[in-house]
Structure 1
Amino acid sequence: MLQTGEMMNSSSTLQSPHSPRRDPLQPIRLWLDSFPVHNPTIARRLAKLIPPQCPFERDIKFFGRTLLHIPPLCKLNPFYEELVGLRFRALCYLADECGEDVRPYC
């Protein structure tokens, strides 16, 4: 006969039908999050390549009236947060370790 504690342990090992699915993009996200920034040349390239703000948000106007608003599509990018973090780490490396002025990248 199972004791109460054993019943709880055996039922907790079962997967619930609503458990989160595996993310196929997780390895790329982890790689971007752990990408080392230890080279000033690479840090400068990252700061130049990754934009500081979303370049897609636009208001389309005709005779001074807004006809269409295009929302920031960067939020749809599955790697948006990781890329912003990588750019931030590159700028911090340039400012803290290399003593560079990072205002031209902003």
Structure 2
Amino acid sequence: MDFSNKPQVNNSLLNQLRNQLDVLEIRDDKLARLLCKIIPSHCPFERNISILGRTLFRIPPLCKLNPLYEQVVGLRFKCLIYLADECGEDVTKYC
């Protein structure tokens, strides 16, 4: 059994997903609002662990380890721009 092509196939699929997210156009205000609500504006995993007001350690933002992080953040940004420019909506509630 030859597994030499498996990483290449996975990488190809990942690149296709990245490209699809990059070229996706937002044209629906309901979809744009939904995506702005479900895609967080900052990494939800980043934390400071404190006891009695003293920080013991910090968990760094791990979202950048996600191979689609840049595309998802870009998609959220496209949604914000669409809502602000095309719909005239105040997008500060999503920030």
TM-score (norm 2): 0.83
Structure of greater Rg: 1
- The superposition leaves residues 15-61 of structure 1 with CA deviations (integer Å, 9 ceiling, x where unpaired) of xxxxxx85331011011111120000001011111111111111111
Aligned pairs for 1:89-104 (under 5 A) are 89-104=78-93
Partner of 1:72: 61
- The superposition leaves residues 50-93 of structure 1 with CA deviations (integer Å, 9 ceiling, x where unpaired) of 11111111111123332221000111111110011000000100
Percent identical across equivalent pairs? Answer: 57
| Structure having the larger proportion of residues in helix | 2
Aligned pairs for 1:20-99 (under 5 A) are 22=8, 23-24=11-12, 25-99=14-88
What residue ranges of structure 2 are gaps of 5+ in the alignment?
A: 1-6
CA distance in 2, matches of 1:56, 1:95: 28
SS of residue paired to 2:31: helix
Higher relative contact order (CA 8 A, sep 6+): 2
What residue ranges of structure 1 are gaps of 5+ in the alignment?
A: 1-20
Give, as a single letter, the amino acid of the residue that structure 2 aligns with 1:48: K
Instruction: Point out 4+ residue stretches in structure 1 off by more than 6 angstroms.
Output: none
TM-score (norm 1): 0.75
